[in-house]
Every structure is written in C-alpha cells, then in structure tokens.
Structure 1
Amino acid sequence: MALRLICAGAAAALVAALPAFAGAPQCRGTVYLTFDTGSQSQAELIAATLKRHNAKATFFLANEKTVRGDWSLDPSWAAFWRARVAEGHAFGSHTFDHVYYVKDGANGEIVVRPQFGGGAGRQASWDAARFCDEIRRVDARFMELTGHGLDPLWRAPGGKTSPRTLAAARGCGYAHVGWSPAGFSGDELSSARYPNALLLKQSLAGLGDGDIFMAHMGIWSRKDPWAPANLEPLLAGLERKGFCFATLREHPGYSDKMHKKTN
C-alpha cells in the first residue's frame, strides 16, 4: 500500500509538471525587431513593451534631437541605454549625425548630407575613412555612456547606400542592415493616408520567418504615433502565430559578422 501511494504521488507530481512543458511556446519562426532612434517620444513605451513580452531587439543609434530638448546620445540618456544593455538587446550605428548618403562623388569620395551636427543640412564630400569615422563615433559615445561597445552593424539613414558606402563600412568591420519588405512599419508615413490599423494589418499579414522589422523610437511628423497603437498588438499577434523574437546577433546573415570591428 505504501509503495502504491509513493508511486501514485510521483505520478501525480509528474502529471502536474506536464502542463508547464506542454504550454511552453514553440517557435514556428523568428522575427528580428529593430528600432532606429528618432524623436525618442516612444522610447520608454517601446522598452516597456519589449520587456513585457521578453522580446529582444536591435537598436540603431544616432545622436538625434529628442522631445526632451536634448539629444539621444547625451549623458541624460545613459541610464536608458544601460538598462537596454542589461536586458540583452543588441545595438548598431545609425551614423552619429544621422548622415544621409546623397551620391558617389569624384575620386572615390562619397557625397553626404548630415541631418544634425555642425554640418546639418549641407552637403559634404567624404573619403572612405571619414565615412567610417562617422559610423564609429556612435560606438565611441555608446562606450562612454554604457561601458559597452556596439555590435558591428550599421544602418544608413533612409536605408540609402551605394557599393561605395557599403565597402567603406566593411573596411572598418561594420555590416549594413536594411529591413525586409514586409518589415517596413510605415511609421514615417502620413497617418491620414496610412492609419495605424492599416499598418498593423499589413505587418501581421506580411511578416514571416527571418524577416527584419523596422520602426522608429518616435517620428516628429506623424500625427498619430505608431508605437502606442501598434507595438503591443503586433507583438501579441505575432506570438499567437507562433513567432519568437531575437536580436540580429542570432540572425543567420549576421551572426558570423559579430566581433569583427577594426580600429
């Protein structure tokens, strides 16, 4: 009798434990969430939503003017970025002054137009070394703010690149990251023409395994911000479809490029 009771108790304990395993989420695919700096009006909301879903993302950083009246890579943002490091997110450069590629210039130079900084709004011609320095400025500032360097990744503002800019960045160890066609959040578009409900529907219908999703941490021009309405239902909807989230450190196209920056 005692033996049967012991066995019955062990069986009951095993059965009680089964739901925990049976209910564990099964990844049917992975979506790689990425966020570019912007006005930073949605920075705290994005961070809190990701944490609530235990979702890891990759942030691409530029020193942009924020709704606080400061800049996104000022010391006043150090605590925010340190917290994201501690949570296990990944980080890449978005060029320090949010520098747009304009065209290839003469003698191998690159014509650019910074959005911020001392040269804001004016075109300049840079050689490959100067272009690379602009990418690395973010790395140096992030180290000052957090004690951690960037991952060897960068994203061109507007996604505008050329073989020349890509080669310049590769020369100092940074791989460029765009986004998947289905991964364009549309948060830069007019909210009158592209309301949040439409953008959410498109994302949920279009995103698939391996896609890189891109949104901003606040857009000055959009009347109805994307993130407050869409980020939570987007993550929840993708989870219901069986998707998990990971940083670009785990992306098969970038995982072998980690730790390859040069000085």
Structure 2
Amino acid sequence: MRAASSVALALAPALAGLCPALAAAPAAAAPATCDKPVYLTFDTGHMGVAPLIADVLKRHQVKVTFFLANERTRTDGSSLDDEWAPWWKARAAEGHAFGSHTWDHLVWQADTAAGLRLRPTAGPDAGKTLTLTPAQYCDELRRPAQRFQAMTGQAMLPLFRAPAGRTSPALLAAAQACGFTHVGWSPAGFLGDELPSDKYPNDQLLAQALQKVKPGDILLAHLGIWSRQDPWAPAVLEPLITGLQARGLCFATLREHPLYGRAAAPAR
C-alpha cells in the first residue's frame, strides 16, 4: 500500500461532502472555448493502467495535467525510466501539462530545526525517514522536471503536488524559493481511487463525482494504485468524462487555470 493511501483513507469523508479542501480551486475564469472547465490531474503510480488512461483521454480529446514522481511500477522498473520514456513523450506531444511530484515521492512528516522531515515511498530510501534542507528539497522537485525534459524535449510547468497532499509553511516556502507553486485538489475533486474498493466501489465513486464536481474544480486520480483491488481507471474514467460533459462541463489543463496558469513557465 502506498503511503498516500493512509491519507486517502483519512480523506474518505470527502465522499460524503465532509472533507475540508486541501487546496480548493477558485471558480475558473473560463477560456473562450471552455466556459465551465474542470481540471483533471493524474499523479504517477504503478503505471499498470497508464496506457488505458491514455487511450480514453485521446478518444475523448481530453487534456489533463500529470504530476510526475519516479515510482515503482508493476514491471519492477520505475515510472520515469527508459521503458516509460516513449509514453511520456507521446503525452507531451498530445498537449497535456506536467508538474513535479518529487523524485522519490517524499511524504512530509514534520518541520524540524534541521530541515524538512520526509518519508519517501520510492527509491533507495523508501520507508526511511529523511531530513532535507530546503535546497535539497528543491533538488527533489527539480529532478522530475529534468528527467521530463530529457524524455520529451519539453519543459515542465513550475507546479508541484506534494505526495499525499501533505505540506507545511516551511515546505511551501522552500518550494517557492526555487520557483515551484503547490497544487492540491478540490473537496469534490477527490475521486477516491486510493480508497479500498470493497468499501468504496467504482459505481459509488462515479455517482459521487458526477453529483458533486462543479466548474473550477481540480480533480485527483492516479496512474495505478497498488492497494485498490478493483482499479478505478479506466472503469470510472470514461463515464466520468462523458457524464461531466453531459452536464456542460469541459476539461482544461492547469496551464489554463486562472491562478496556476500564471506560473506556466519553465521550472528553474
């Protein structure tokens, strides 16, 4: 089970509309071609469903924002290794947007006098507790951006999502000092794909999202969750897209977001 899953369980009341926003998006000032936008985002994961997700997005001509970490995959590689480089290059060519999720999927634990206490769920130190200086944390944010540019020839947006959505003023200040802005998700945008499928089946998650998602919301899903037995994607993804479109909503990347779009410049 990914470390983020425990946070997702804590957020389960969002399914009943009770969860506070981690970073609720303001109502969007819509671009001319999309007057009721929602912003679908995907964090990396085991990548087992990534090709299916890409097929759905391409079929419906939906553009999304991906947040990249170098996480373990079902093929015993990692999500940013050479095996996946063509997949990322294809997504970049399709016009999706991209941000950092830290290289080793570092989950914030605490602020200390020595720096940020973090627990990676990927990489050689997975499961350990590390203390990083602000400069070292910036290096962790930059590594996915550097790898993304090497794979695709494109620059990543200077946006990041902290793994599990866990931040602190010190962490946000460290990221801001090296040019990165944090992006969370809206209360209704917690799509529940990290929750146990026996308690939160796909049909329930779909119905909840179709009822509660509203224009301006930032939506959160993943490219594969180890702990969920009945995968959320692509089973929920396609009816979610068509259902929201039937309500008059449309999809945009964070490049078009009225707040985060201001940061749409190459990461430093």
SS in 2 for 1:182: coil
Alpha-carbon separation, structure 1, partners of 2:73 and 2:201? 24
Contact 1:92 1:150 in 2 (8 A): yes
Cross-structure match for 1:173? 179
Cross-structure match for 2:65? 58
Quick one: which amino acid aligns to residue 251 of structure 1? H
* Match for residue 247 of structure 1 among 235, 240, 253: 253
Quick one: which amino acid aligns to residue 236 of structure 1? T
CA RMSD, Structure 1 to Structure 2 (Å) = 1.3
Contact 1:173 1:260 in 2 (8 A): no
Alpha-carbon separation, structure 1, partners of 2:64 and 2:194? 19
Does 2:126 align with 1:110? Answer: no
Cross-structure match for 1:101? 108
Alpha-carbon separation, structure 2, partners of 1:261 and 1:43? 25
More helix by share: 1
* Match for residue 263 of structure 2 among 244, 257, 260: 257
Alpha-carbon separation, structure 1, partners of 2:90 and 2:220? 21
Alpha-carbon separation, structure 2, partners of 1:114 and 1:158? 11
Q: What does 1:117-196 align with in structure 2 at a 5 Å threshold?
A: 117-196=123-202
SS in 2 for 1:228: coil
Cross-structure match for 2:80? 73
Regions of 4+ moved over 6 Å: none
Q: How many residues align?
A: 237
Quick one: which amino acid aligns to residue 146 of structure 2? A
SS in 2 for 1:100: strand
Q: Please, which runs of 5 or more residues in structure 2 have no aligned partner?
A: 1-32
| Bigger RCO of structures 1 and 2 (CA < 8 A, at least 6 apart) | 2
Deviation of the 1:118 alpha carbon: 2.0
Deviation of the 1:68 alpha carbon: 1.9
Q: Percent identity?
A: 56
Quick one: which amino acid aligns to residue 82 of structure 1? K
Does 2:48 align with 1:41? Answer: yes
Quick one: which amino acid aligns to residue 64 of structure 2? A
The structure with the larger Rg is 1
Deviation of the 1:128 alpha carbon: 0.6
Alpha-carbon separation, structure 1, partners of 2:62 and 2:38? 10
Cross-structure match for 1:82? 89
Contact 1:58 1:90 in 2 (8 A): yes
Does 2:232 align with 1:226? Answer: yes
Quick one: which amino acid aligns to residue 48 of structure 1? D
Question: What whole-Å deviation, never above 9, does each CA across 1:7-26 have from its counterpart, x for those lacking one?
Answer: xxxxxxxxxxxxxxxxxxx8
Alpha-carbon separation, structure 2, partners of 1:261 and 1:47? 25
Contact 2:39 2:218 in 1 (8 A): yes
Q: Please, which runs of 5 or more residues in structure 1 have no aligned partner?
A: 1-25
Deviation of the 1:27 alpha carbon: 4.5
Contact 1:218 1:225 in 2 (8 A): yes
